[in-house]
Amino acid sequence: MDFALNEEQTLFQNQTRQFLESKGDLTIPRSYMEGKEEVLEELWKGLGDLGYMGITISEEYGGLGLGDLTLVPILEEMGRVVVPGPYPETVAFAVPLLQAYGTEAQKQKYLPSIAEGKRKVTLAVLEASGELAPSEVQLQAKVSGDEYVLQGTKILVPHGDIADTLIVPVRTGGTNSEYGISLVIVDADQVTLDTKKQISMDETRKMVQVTFNEVRVPKAQLLGPENAGWGILQSGLIHLNAALTSTMVGGMDRVVEMSTEYAKTREQFGQPIGRFQAIKHRIVDMKLDMDSARSLSYYASWAVENKTDDMVEAVALARSFSSEAYLDIAGKNIQNHGGMGFTWEFDCHFFLKRARALENHLGSPESFRETAAVEMGWNGKKALV
Amino acid sequence: MDFSYTAKEEAFRNELRTWLQDNLPEGWLDGTFEYPEEENERAAFLRDWQRKLSEGRWAGISWPEQYGGRGATLVEEVIFEQEMAKVKAPPIINTIGTAMVGPTLLQIGTDYQKETYVPKILNGDEIWCQGYSEPSAGSDLAAIQTRAVKQGDKWIINGQKVWTSFAHLADKCFLLARTENTGKKHEGITAFLIDMHQPGVEVRPIHQINDAYDFNEVFLNDAVAYEADVVGEVGDGWRVGLILLSHERVGVAKQTFRLQKLFDELADMAKTLEKNGRPLIEDQIVRQKLVGFRAKTRALLLNYYRHLTDTIRNGRPGPEGSLDKLASSELGQQMLAFGVSIQGANGQLWKEDAPVNANWQKDWLRSFAYTIEGGTSEIQRNIVGERILKLPKDIKH
Ligand SMILES: Cc1cc2nc3c(=O)[nH]c(=O)nc-3n(C[C@H](O)[C@H](O)[C@H](O)COP(=O)(O)OP(=O)(O)OC[C@H]3O[C@@H](n4cnc5c(N)ncnc54)[C@H](O)[C@@H]3O)c2cc1C
């Protein structure tokens, strides 16, 4: 029994921290917000050089062949710095799906270029309502010869403006049901996509509306069997939700650290404010939430890597708990910083806004709890992962 | 990271399970066992249980084999608590003796103390209590005023202890008293082993909010301790007192596992109770709240395991125990409060008239002590803030 990071994982953690510090730490999201989009390119290239883009890719396709757990320390470090970029979507959604369902040609085409840091992949799943449900997948894919013709609009596509590849659930059959949904892989440089940035509070995670207007993609771009895409999507989302949770834990870790440091140095009434129990105890409660989120997320990733029976429950519990706790303690962090915390120039708001961006993304805390309830065998309507 | 147990640990678990199957009181596992209501009968029942445990060498598993233990590892101790919680085994009446006094004497006691006291602890022949708190020394424990004065080879003790759990059943007490006034309150304290059946000791049970009498006032009027019953050095009692507490190394585990069980009971109750003709568990608010508790009980357990991993790696526990204590006591309160709350208007009834099971009301009331006993939640937050986060120290005098 061993519930801590092992040597290899600690090594990845230290390396990632050093790398992100060398790139400017919290000035990374700030520069990005201010329009210097090249920081994302540099970051991506650096991650590729370190081999981090291929951690979960098997060795025959140029990766390291490691499991989800190895991503945990790296994702946490990225969360600590609120980095921009579809890293979780690429390594913890696209990669596991391509490995599990991709054709040999698809694997050859995508996995090595992802591993080299030359390809960013995102997930274009949500439509007008922003809800994740089979009935909401209405983007139509009509067969025309050996092509699909895509017609419809996806919203809230993370970094949809710069992604090289999009994984898109489309409707190839049915009307509202799970049956009839298929996943297609769309390469941005092969087609013309109409993208429009959505104005999101979290400017470090760009949200994009992508309109597919008579977009033609070869049938060979189908990921997995036709009409069975909903289930495949869920199996990818398990990895992605575990990964997003790890980034939230990293953000929580940073927020606790910021509050602690500030409470030691900021003085009022002739005392460091950390001597006041109202502050001290609040920070302890924040730490407790962070620890709990981290434990749940470690276990969730372990469960996913080992495909345990309680894998879905584990991810749902970790995700619902972290979504709420992150938002809560990011707010408390502002309170602990007083007026300083309320300024644009100080970094507190990055965390608050990232927490808000992730809170209901791909499922609300309530929906994840409902998933856990059903997994525990409590009868009721199965909600969505 | 590896969340599984070794084969040896699983074998240990199976051995304990088999033993429990064979030795738990008749009717315990199928729920037909009736706990003796009367105080003395209950004490007799618990003493019997302690004897049975010690005969099976299950009373103090971390103790060395030569003293009747199994030299169990920390993980085995945790498994032990897990299994005991699973069957809601009767409590160990002499837990202060087995968990704290015994191990302390084995660590720093004299040969005389080991020979005289240790063998009677495991089998429950002598039950121990812990005399630390006083009317004006609770959170500020070092402010104790009970005085011990040397007369020949005896120490004469005068003062008052309070909140002393099981003092009314106890034969012996591990007691802190002031032997010198140096002006510094952590100095001049000495730890004594005293006999509770002597004229100078008077015990008055205190009536608790749950209508039980588990803790007591203890009045010391010329009570006697012998020179051979000083633990450690005279004047070194603060340190010795902390050593005793440091042996309570699986107390949090116990509470953590109880809460896993409590969660199951809570969910089961929500499946049986109905609202508008539907099981309560289908009510969205109840369901959401329950899964929230599920996440928190899981987090508590996993946090505990992570801290245990640190303890095993470092060879000693750190201040993280305070985090676990804080979280478990507050979560326990919340879950019990919810458990009574979903019983509706009838939830106010207790004892024979309790709507589901009288334990819900009794345990809910008992839960108000969780955040007080063993160091209040405020004190735990100070400990975490100061020792883990290294925030500035609280104002102290
Ligand atoms: C069921 C039960 C069993 C017990 N068993 C034993 C036993 O066997 N042996 C024994 O010796 N003792 C025992 N105790 C006593 C227990 O250790 C004390 O009650 C506890 O340490 C608190 O002390 P107090 O009751 O004097 O409260 P106080 O210390 O007076 O606290 C009152 C309130 O003030 C707060 N407070 C105090 N200091 C601070 C501070 N610095 N910062 C912020 N807030 C503060 C506390 O958190 C609390 O909310 C038991 C208590 C209970 C409830």
Q: Are B137 and B52 contained in the same domain?
A: no
Q: Please check whether residue B49 lies inside any domain of the structure.
A: yes
A114 has pLDDT over 80 = yes
B309–A280 C-beta distance less than 8 A: no
Q: Are A261 and A212 contained in the same domain?
A: no
**B322's tokens:** 């305070």
CATH value at residue A296: 1.20.140.10
Q: Which residues of A fall within a CB distance of 8 Å from B297?
A: none
Q: Please check whether residue A133 lies inside any domain of the structure.
A: yes
Query: Using CA atoms, how far apart are residues A328 and A282, in angstroms rounded to an integer?
Result: 11
Closest residue in chain A to residue B327, using alpha carbons only: A288
DSSP-derived secondary structure letter, A342: T
DSSP-derived secondary structure letter, B391: P
Query: Is B320 one of the catalytic residues?
Result: no
CATH value at residue A47: 1.10.540.10
Size of interface A-B (CB pairs under 8 A): 152
A320–B391 C-beta distance less than 8 A: no
Asked whether the beta carbons of A112 and A61 are under 8 A apart, the reply is yes
pLDDT of amino acid B236: 97
Query: Using CA atoms, how far apart are residues B87 and B258, in angstroms rounded to an integer?
Result: 10
A383 has pLDDT over 50 = no
pLDDT band at B76 (very low <50, low <70, confident <90, very high): very high
Least confident of A15-24, A362-371, B30-39: B30-39
Per-chain mean pLDDT for chain A:
95
| A220 inside 8 A of chain B by CB | no
| B51 inside 8 A of chain A by CB | no
Closest in A4, A283, A320 to B389, CB measured: A283
Other C-beta atoms lying within 10 Å of the C-beta of residue A197: 12
Residue type, B49: W
Asked whether the beta carbons of A125 and A160 are under 8 A apart, the reply is no
* Domain boundary, last residue among A175, A201, A227: A227
B303 has pLDDT over 70 = yes
For range B104-108, the mean pLDDT: 95
Q: Which residues between 57 and 76 in chain B have a beta carbon less than 8 angstroms from any beta carbon of chain A?
A: 75
Q: Are B291 and B315 contained in the same domain?
A: yes
Q: Please check whether residue A108 lies inside any domain of the structure.
A: yes
pLDDT band at B252 (very low <50, low <70, confident <90, very high): confident
For residue B128 and ligand 1, the question of a CB distance below 6 A is answered with no
Q: Please check whether residue A102 lies inside any domain of the structure.
A: yes
> Nearest to residue B196, comparing CAs of B164, B226, B232, B170?
B170
Q: Are A247 and A358 contained in the same domain?
A: yes
Q: Are B200 and B295 contained in the same domain?
A: no
Q: What's the start-to-end Cα distance of chain A, in Å? A: 30
Q: Whose CA is nearest to atom 23 of ligand 1?
A: B138
Burial per residue of B195-211, b for 16 or more beta-carbon CB atoms within 10 angstroms, e otherwise? bbeeebbebebeeeebe
Asked whether the beta carbons of A322 and B325 are under 8 A apart, the reply is no
- Inter-CA distances, A91 with A71, A119, A160, A307, A322, Å: 9, 11, 16, 18, 21
**Which atom of ligand 1 is nearest the CA belonging to B165?**
8
For residue B75 and ligand 1, the question of a CB distance below 6 A is answered with no
Instruction: Tell how far CA B77 is from the center of its chain.
Output: 14
Query: Using CA atoms, how far apart are residues A146 and B41, in angstroms rounded to an integer?
Result: 84
Query: Using CA atoms, how far apart are residues A50 and A243, in angstroms rounded to an integer?
Result: 19
Asked whether the beta carbons of A244 and A354 are under 8 A apart, the reply is no
Q: What percentage of chain A exceeds 70 in pLDDT?
A: 98
pLDDT of amino acid A1: 66
Catalytic residue among B202, B248, B330, B386: B248
Q: Give the up-direction half-sphere exposure of residue B76: CA atoms within 13 A in the CB hemisphere.
A: 18
A260–B389 C-beta distance less than 8 A: yes
B288–A2 C-beta distance less than 8 A: no
B275 backbone dihedrals φ, ψ, rounded to 5°:
-135, 125
Which of A308, A309, A369, A379 is best to mutate for the B interface (most B CBs within 10 A)? A369
3-class DSSP state of B1: coil
Predicted confidence (pLDDT) per residue in A10-65, tens digit: 999 999 999 999 999 999 999 999 999 999 999 999 999 999 999 999 999 999 99
* Domain boundary, last residue among B234, B259, B291: B234
pLDDT band at B251 (very low <50, low <70, confident <90, very high): confident
Q: Are B257 and B203 contained in the same domain?
A: no
Predicted confidence (pLDDT) per residue in A206-249, tens digit: 999 999 999 999 999 999 999 999 999 999 999 999 999 999 99
Asked whether the beta carbons of B375 and B367 are under 8 A apart, the reply is no
Q: Are A321 and A366 contained in the same domain?
A: yes
Asked whether the beta carbons of A164 and A121 are under 8 A apart, the reply is yes
Query: Using CA atoms, how far apart are residues B330 and B332, in angstroms rounded to an integer?
Result: 5
Q: Are B279 and B380 contained in the same domain?
A: yes
For range B112-132, the mean pLDDT: 95
Predicted confidence (pLDDT) per residue in B309-360, tens digit: 888 888 888 889 999 999 999 999 999 999 999 999 899 999 999 999 999 9
**B385's tokens:** 């803030």
A301 has pLDDT over 90 = yes
Query: Using CA atoms, how far apart are residues B121 and B198, in angstroms rounded to an integer?
Result: 19
**A146's tokens:** 């050996």
Q: Please check whether residue B105 lies inside any domain of the structure.
A: no
Residues paired with residue B215 on neighbouring β-strands, in sequence order? B165
Residue range(s) defining the domain that contains residue A307: 231-375
3-class DSSP state of A118: coil
CATH value at residue B71: 1.10.540
Degrees (nearest 5) of the Cα angle A21, A25, A26?
Answer: 170
Closest residue in chain B to residue A313, using alpha carbons only: B295
H helices of chain A, in order, are 7-22, 27-33, 38-50, 68-80, 87-89, 95-101, 104-115, 229-265, 277-305, 311-341, 348-359, 365-375
pLDDT of amino acid B318: 84
Predicted confidence (pLDDT) per residue in B214-229, tens digit: 999 999 999 999 999 9
For residue B297 and ligand 1, the question of a CB distance below 6 A is answered with no
Q: Are B152 and B81 contained in the same domain?
A: no
DSSP character string of B224-284 = EEEGGGEESSTTBHHHHHHHHHHT-TTHHHHHHHHHHHHHHHHHHHHHHSEETTEEGGGSH
Q: Are A246 and A212 contained in the same domain?
A: no
For residue B369 and ligand 1, the question of a CB distance below 6 A is answered with yes
Q: Please check whether residue A41 lies inside any domain of the structure.
A: yes
Q: Please check whether residue B157 lies inside any domain of the structure.
A: yes
DSSP-derived secondary structure letter, A362: T
Residues paired with residue B190 on neighbouring β-strands, in sequence order? B177
Asked whether the beta carbons of B72 and B61 are under 8 A apart, the reply is yes
State the residue for tokens 């608010």.
Answer: B285
Q: Are A53 and A138 contained in the same domain?
A: no
Predicted confidence (pLDDT) per residue in B373-395, tens digit: 999 999 999 999 999 999 999 87
For range B39-66, the mean pLDDT: 92
State the residue for tokens 């991506």.
Answer: A44
Other C-beta atoms lying within 10 Å of the C-beta of residue B41: 11
For residue B282 and ligand 1, the question of a CB distance below 6 A is answered with no
| B8 inside 8 A of chain A by CB | no
Q: Which residues of B fall within a CB distance of 8 Å from A272?
A: 391-392
pTM: 0.91
Residue range(s) defining the domain that contains residue B85: 7-93
Number of domains comprising chain B? 3
Q: What percentage of chain B exceeds 90 in pLDDT?
A: 85
> Nearest to residue B106, comparing CAs of B126, B122, B91?
B122
Number of helices (H), then strands (E), belonging to chain B: the values are 13, 10
Per-chain mean pLDDT for chain B:
94
pLDDT of amino acid A384: 37
Query: Using CA atoms, how far apart are residues B52 and B93, in angstroms rounded to an integer?
Result: 12
Residue type, B80: F
3-class DSSP state of B119: helix
Query: Using CA atoms, how far apart are residues B169 and A88, in angstroms rounded to an integer?
Result: 60
pLDDT band at B397 (very low <50, low <70, confident <90, very high): low
Q: Please check whether residue B239 lies inside any domain of the structure.
A: no
CATH value at residue B368: 1.20.140.10
Q: Are A194 and A241 contained in the same domain?
A: no
For residue B130 and ligand 1, the question of a CB distance below 6 A is answered with yes
* Domain boundary, last residue among A211, A227, A243: A227
Query: Using CA atoms, how far apart are residues B201 and A232, in angstroms rounded to an integer?
Result: 73
Q: Are B277 and B210 contained in the same domain?
A: no
Q: What is the largest CA-CA distance in chain B?
A: 76
| A69 inside 8 A of chain B by CB | yes
Q: Please check whether residue A381 lies inside any domain of the structure.
A: no
Query: Using CA atoms, how far apart are residues B372 and B139, in angstroms rounded to an integer?
Result: 9
Predicted confidence (pLDDT) per residue in A344-355, tens digit: 999 999 999 999
Number of domains comprising chain A? 3
Q: Whose CA is nearest to atom 2 of ligand 1?
A: B373
Query: Using CA atoms, how far apart are residues A315 and A319, in angstroms rounded to an integer?
Result: 6
Q: Are B55 and B163 contained in the same domain?
A: no
Q: Are A197 and A244 contained in the same domain?
A: no
Q: Which residues between 74 and 93 in chain B have a beta carbon less than 8 angstroms from any beta carbon of chain A?
A: 75
Q: Which residues of B fall within a CB distance of 8 Å from A263?
A: 391-392
Which of B298, B313, B322, B384 is best to mutate for the A interface (most A CBs within 10 A)? B298
A204 has pLDDT over 70 = yes
| A291 inside 8 A of chain B by CB | yes
**Which atom of ligand 1 is nearest the CA belonging to B139?**
29
A197 has pLDDT over 50 = yes
Q: Please check whether residue B172 lies inside any domain of the structure.
A: yes
Least confident of B128-132, B174-178, B310-314, B361-365: B310-314
* Domain boundary, last residue among A172, A206, A227: A227
For range A68-88, the mean pLDDT: 97
Asked whether the beta carbons of B335 and B293 are under 8 A apart, the reply is yes
Q: Are A337 and A256 contained in the same domain?
A: yes
| A272 inside 8 A of chain B by CB | yes
pLDDT of amino acid B290: 98
- Inter-CA distances, B223 with B116, B173, B238, B374, Å: 20, 12, 21, 26
Q: Please check whether residue A291 lies inside any domain of the structure.
A: yes
The ipTM, to two decimals, is: 0.88
Q: How far is the CA of B161 from the centre of ligand 1 (A)?
A: 13
